[in-house]
């Protein structure tokens, strides 16, 4: 069964602009994939804790060497990775907060970057283990940053996903959301058009593959 994982990183949970764009993408994907499974993970209402030394060492330790608290921490990492492994498509709602990705997303990334699980060290360098997946990122910002050095998010998220093996990553931006009602409306309309175009492209690919 096809599976989509929706990750919302907005501090406003489902009410954030990025979450709402992600939800629009997911609704279109669901319509094109009836009966498919959608897993939703909201990083604001269910934040992943900061990575601590205790957790990091737990991830490296043998199962029988872990304390009860460490076993709990590893169980969370295992559950997050299982969701990624199950997903064919990952849809990420990605706001910009204070010139970077939400700290909740960084904490999530810190729990899914696991040597031996999501990447392996080889003699050719690290090799991502989550191959054959697509990620779609709905990136929202108050200002205009894409294509400038202020956009600290795009290269970072693309690099991180690539590191764990997710190389097919598409970004859809809604920028200038704090630049007045007109700018906001036009930016969101353009993001919706990009979502529709992505859906049309997906349907075309599916028709060719069938
Ligand atoms: C705490 C906070 C920090 C923000 N920092 C930035 C920023 O550094 N640059 C920017 O362009 N917009 C910034 N914004 C605006 C958000 O990127 C914008 O409101 C976006 O819609 C947030 O996505 P969301 O609605 O999904 O949470 C910030 C908003 C908040 C609430």
- Which atom of ligand 1 is closest in space to residue 143's alpha carbon? 11
| Residue range 181-204: mean pLDDT, rounded | 92
Element of type H or E holding 196: helix 181-209
pLDDT digits (tens, 9 = 90+) for 102-141: 999 999 999 999 999 999 999 999 999 999 999 999 999 9
pTM of the predicted structure, to 2 decimals: 0.96
Question: Is pLDDT at 199 greater than 90 in this prediction?
Answer: no
Atom of ligand 1 nearest to the CA of 93: 26
Asked if 135 contacts 161 with a C-beta cutoff of 8 angstroms, the reply is yes
Pocket test for ligand 1, best of 95, 149, 184 (most atoms within 8 A of CB): 95
Q: For 17-40, write each residue's pLDDT tens digit.
A: 999 999 999 999 999 999 999 999
């Amino acid at each position: 069964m096809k599976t989509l994982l929706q990750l919302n990183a907005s501090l406003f949970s489902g009410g954030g602009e990025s979450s709402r764009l992600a939800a629009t993408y997911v609704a279109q994907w669901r319509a094109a994939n009836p009966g498919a499974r959608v897993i939703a993970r909201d990083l604001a209402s269910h934040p992943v804790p900061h990575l601590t030394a205790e957790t990091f060492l737990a991830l490296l330790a043998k199962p029988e060497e872990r304390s009860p608290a460490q076993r709990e921490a590893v169980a969370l990492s295992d559950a997050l990775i299982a969701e990624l492994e199950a997903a064919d498509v990952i849809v990420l709602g990605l706001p910009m907060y204070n010139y970077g990705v939400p700290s909740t997303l960084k904490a999530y990334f810190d729990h899914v970057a696991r040597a031996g699980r999501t990447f392996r060290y080889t003699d050719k360098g690290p090799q991502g283990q989550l191959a054959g997946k697509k990620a779609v990122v709905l990136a929202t910002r108050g200002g205009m940053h894409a294509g400038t050095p202020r956009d600290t998010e795009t290269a970072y998220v693309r690099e991180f996903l690539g590191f764990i093996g997710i190389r097919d990553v598409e970004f859809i931006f809604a920028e200038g959301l704090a630049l007045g009602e007109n700018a906001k409306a036009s930016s969101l309309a353009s993001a919706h058009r990009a979502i529709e175009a992505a859906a049309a492209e997906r349907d075309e690919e599916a028709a060719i593959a069938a």
